[in-house]
Structure 1
């Protein structure tokens, strides 16, 4: 078992060199301090008889082997101090699903948590757990403002007059005012020629 763990840790250490890629594609979990999380590791068929759980801590840049679990539910922990906080289990149906339950998460345990199947050498993307970090707030959706629609406060459309009276009466008033101004102008100019001929007759020296 020790040799298997050493080979596994060596392989994972080489794979974790691509941590930025894992962090960009893994599922991010914003856990609470002293909170718990359940991580799933699915096998596409029933050939996955053994699984290794590991984590890569962001602050210390260190790789840590957590739990080994086989298809019979047997567990082996990497460190005795984490036995009570990391619990592995397995369930089988159409797929074999390995579960890792983590309790008592702390702020210094931010990092990538994932698993690896021993036979297939399959390494799922895993989970990026961030204890004590608040999730980013989602911006509210932008609301488009609509221009107010002008409403004609008049009689209903079934009325014979309706809104026509609001347009008809101002038009008639404007025509009447224009007719009065035109009549006054014509009357004023109609009297001017008489005065002009009278003055012209007095001042003409030929008569």
Structure 2
């Protein structure tokens, strides 16, 4: 049964669309990964990993809603511990201890009853997280609204308000003249004589 899930997982692996969370773990460090079920129907979960170095897919642990777990072949059960907690949502957790450099890869879960496969986690043991440069603060120059002299501030600003108004009137006048010229160039209609 695990083999079928493993095949389904390997088929779906290249189709990851979202970006997994990247975890920079310490060598011999530990990480806790969580998988949240959207409702209470997720009774069983399978945890897998895809190791980057060997390009191999490996079944880690099976956990059911009662907390019963079953480990993959040749896996140390004390290093990979599965658990479940249920409240408003069912959350499955995988705790991994003693992480080594050759365990770099994608770790994820798959719910048995649903076609839902969370994005998962990309764990990089022994890799330091990239240093983020502090954001550069750009000082904004104050925008001058009115270049008026203090002494005659209300009257000095009249020019600044007047010119846009004149521009709008000129544009309106040009549009009106152009429209009148266009209609004056149209052929004149025949005048009908009305008979009494």
TM over 0.5: yes
Corresponding residue for residue 39 of structure 1: 33
Provide the residue aligned with 1:74 in structure 2.
68
Deviations 1:140-170 (A, max 9, x none): 22244699xxxxxxxxxxxxxxxxxxxxxxx
Q: Does residue 107 of the first structure (1) align with residue 91 of the second (2)?
A: no
Q: Which has the higher helix share?
A: 1
List aligned pairs for 1:14-33, cutoff 5 A: 14-18=11-15, 21=17, 25-33=19-27
Structure 1: any 5+ residue segments left out of the alignment?
A: 148-207
Unmatched tracts of structure 2, length 5 or more: 142-196
Count of residue pairs brought into register by the alignment = 141
Q: Which has the larger radius of gyration?
A: 1
Q: TM-score, normalised by structure 2?
A: 0.68
- Alignment deviations for residues 96-117 of structure 1 (CA, whole Å, 9 cap, x no partner): 0000000000001110000000
> Helix, strand or coil for the counterpart of 1:81?
coil
Alignment root-mean-square deviation, CA:
1.6
What residue in structure 1 maps to residue 51 of structure 2? 57
1:171-190 mapped onto 2 (5 Å cutoff): none
Deviation per CA, 1:14-50: give whole Å up to 9, x if none: 111336x45xx11000000000000000001110000
